[in-house]
């Protein structure tokens, strides 16, 4: 069995998923560089590579969130009005009320977090700094460009787009590795 490119990840399943995604990207590179495919096909290969690269970035950042933040860190607090009593109805869209105004916490469902949310949480907790946050956001936007429904034109994924995604993934890998080594 080959040595993992993500040996610093303690979660065996996550590490295997990261390695498989990385291997998939490596397998696409000869197709991207071959010059035998149409521009549209080459763009599609790049698109797939960017999607997988963004997924690797997301998984690495999720690993930080999952291992370094407590449930308290991941609890969202909101003020809720309880025992509401209408004191005066002004009209159909305006009431004057009384009641108990309490702050209640709800633990975020980590399984439903996306790359943007993970980045925002890590930035808010001062784990992820603005320069890296902004680079990751560029890759997030590139990946989200793959949603074909809202597009008004056909997005061509360039070599520069792919190199940018790879560069950010390298930065995130180093950042994550430094958190665990």
6-57 residue pLDDT tens: 999 999 999 999 999 999 999 999 999 998 999 999 999 999 999 999 999 9
Nearest residue to 72 via CA among 121, 137, 120, 37: 121
Q: Is the pLDDT of residue 75 over 90?
A: yes
- What is the rounded CA–CA span in Å between residue 140 and residue 117? 11
Provide the residue range defining the domain that includes 33: 12-70+126-180
| Domain membership flag for residue 53 | yes
Confirm whether 96 is domain-assigned.
no
Look at residue 90 and tell me if it is in a domain.
no
How much is the average pLDDT of 53-78? 95
Give Rg (Cα) of the chain. 22
The Cα–Cα gap between 84 and 60 comes to 44
| Assigned domain for 154 exists | yes
Predicted TM-score of the model (pTM): 0.86
State what percent of residues in the chain have pLDDT above 90: 88
On whether residue 77 sits in a domain, the answer given is no
What average pLDDT does the segment 111-132 reach? 96
CA distance 14 to 104: 33
Report the CATH number that the domain containing residue 24 is assigned in CATH.
Answer: 1.20.120.330
Q: Where are the alpha helices (DSSP H) in the chain?
A: 12-33, 39-68, 115-124, 130-144, 159-180
Quick one: pLDDT at residue 150?
66
148-176 pLDDT, tens digit per residue, is: 676 677 788 999 999 999 999 999 999 99
Query: Total domain count for the chain?
Result: 1
- What's the whole-number average pLDDT of the chain? 93
Sort 171 into a burial class: Cβ within 10 Å, 0-12 / 13-18 / 19+: middle
Q: Is residue 150 part of a domain?
A: yes
86 occurs within a structural domain: no
Tokens, residue 12: 């065996």
Is a pLDDT exceeding 50 seen at residue 1? no
Query: What pLDDT score was predicted for residue 151?
Result: 66
Q: Which two tokens stand for residue 23?
A: 């291997």
CA distance 36 to 177: 37
d(CA 35, CA 153): 24
- CA-nearest of 55, 64, 59 to 25 is 55
Distance CA 151, CA 167 (A): 26
């Amino acid at each position: 069995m080959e040595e993992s490119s993500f040996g610093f990840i303690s979660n065996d399943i996550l590490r295997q998923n990261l390695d498989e995604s990385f291997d998939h990207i490596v397998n696409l590179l000869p197709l991207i560089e071959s010059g035998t495919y149409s521009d549209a096909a080459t763009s599609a290969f790049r698109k797939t590579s960017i999607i997988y690269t963004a997924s690797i970035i997301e998984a690495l950042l999720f690993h930080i969130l999952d291992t370094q933040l407590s449930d308290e860190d991941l609890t969202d607090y909101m003020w809720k009005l309880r025992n509401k009593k209408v004191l005066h109805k002004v009209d159909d869209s305006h009431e004057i009320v009384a009641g108990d105004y309490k702050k209640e916490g709800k633990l975020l469902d980590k399984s439903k977090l996306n790359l943007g949310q993970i980045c925002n949480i890590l930035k808010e907790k001062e784990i992820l700094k603005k320069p890296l946050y902004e680079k990751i956001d560029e890759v997030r936007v590139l990946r989200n460009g793959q949603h074909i429904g809202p597009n008004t034109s056909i997005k061509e994924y360039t070599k520069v787009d792919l190199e940018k995604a790879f560069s950010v993934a390298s930065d995130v890998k180093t950042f994550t590795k430094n958190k665990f080594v």
